[in-house]
Amino acid sequence: MARNARAEQLWEYGRSVLEGARSEQVLRMARQVNAVSYTSAREYAGRSLFELLQNGYDAHPRDRRDGRVHVLLDEAEGEWGTLYVANGGTPFTWRDVERVCELAQSSKEVGEGIGNKGVGFRSILLISDAPEIYSADPDSPLGPEMDGYCFRFAQKVDVEEFLASEDNAHEVAAKYPPLQAPLPLDDVPATCRQLAAQGYVTIVRLPLLSEAARAEVRLRMRELAGAKVPVMLFLDRLAGLTLERRAAGGEAGELDDAHEALERHELTRSEERFAVTQDGAGHGFPVSCATVDLGPSGTFLVARGTVEKERLNSTLAEAVGSGLLDDTWQEWKRSAVVEVALPLPAPPRADRDAGRSTLSCRWARTRPRRSRGT
């Protein structure tokens, strides 16, 4: 599908959503969605950047181990700076467009990735009211162009302009929910083009709301860079995460040498799996193991165990029956995995120089430090 055809598809969908605001019944529902959107955002306060990283991770197929995410805060672009979060996974499809515009809907299957509730993206409303998404062609994602679905979301001014013939246009626009109606974007910003040239296929661009929003992003970037439990530890689809903060110098919005890089952190991950020796009776262990090298963040032993399907289904059914989870959790099709990580001591200098390390494992009942279901 050509880019102009995708733009027309976005416009037709956005126009149909906005047209609904002429109906009093739809408008009543829209007011409720507006309230719930901001309530959901506040419940995710402090997690905006992590939710964007999580979405970038989930965009990579399960079998990828070389994925990349780039987080860039350009403080010279816009009044309060602009945040970019780019990933090298799978470009936006039409289903992704529809789901991101619907509250509590997700294009991800339960168990497919970290998130699936479809509300985390709305946490960005606390730091930006004008998000934009640029994505490569989902049918041909290898090119350097952002020629797929590129769009923003209708804001109050757009709603009021669309409903200009209605007497209550201003009132409707004031209560119209955010992130509902996609509108196509014709131009791709310079920084997005630069990131696309580096191989990223989807970029979320967020002009920041205020000085407080910029401070929030700075804080969360520092937390990700220096987390006591390294953020890359369980992100097994990623090989690299770049956290970069830039400031004035040269043309704002250009990702080039004219900018001053105030901070840049390159977080890396590599994994080497190994077999677990059987015990004296010849019994194997119901786990798989790997050493995970996070560069300066250290090396970890990660053990993975699969939850029995019957036990998983029984637990989910009980939680759904008691109202703790909604019915979609019973659509879980894949196995659930529990991971436990333990930090390993640095190898002796002689072993490091020789490029060797020795690992001796002794299995016992231990208290897990951290676990994740996938």
Residue 250 has pLDDT above 80, yes or no: no
User: For 41-51, what is the mean pLDDT?
Assistant: 87
Domains of the chain, residue spans: 3-268, 271-353
Residue 328's pLDDT is what? 75
Percent of the chain exceeding pLDDT 90 equals 53
Residue 58's pLDDT is what? 93
> Could you report the per-residue pLDDT of 277-319, keeping only the tens digit for each?
666 655 556 788 999 999 999 999 999 988 877 888 888 888 8
Residue 253's pLDDT is what? 46
Strand partners of residue 70: 86, 242
Q: Assess contact for 226 and 220: CB atoms under 8 A.
A: no
Instruction: Report the candidate in 189, 271, 201 with the shortest Cα–Cα distance to residue 233.
Output: 271
Residue 335's pLDDT is what? 74
Q: What is the mean pLDDT of the chain?
A: 83
Residue 189 has pLDDT above 50, yes or no: yes
More confidently predicted of 320 and 85: 85
Residue 374's pLDDT is what? 42
pTM over 0.85: no
> Could you report the per-residue pLDDT of 205-232, keeping only the tens digit for each?
999 999 999 999 999 999 999 999 999 9
Fold held by 3-268: Heat Shock Protein 90 (3.30.565)
Residue 358 has pLDDT above 60, yes or no: no
**Range among 7-11, 336-340, 344-348 with highest mean pLDDT value:** 7-11
Residue 122 banded pLDDT, cuts 50, 70, 90: confident
Residue 270's pLDDT is what? 97
User: For 110-119, what is the mean pLDDT?
Assistant: 47
Residue 78 banded pLDDT, cuts 50, 70, 90: very high
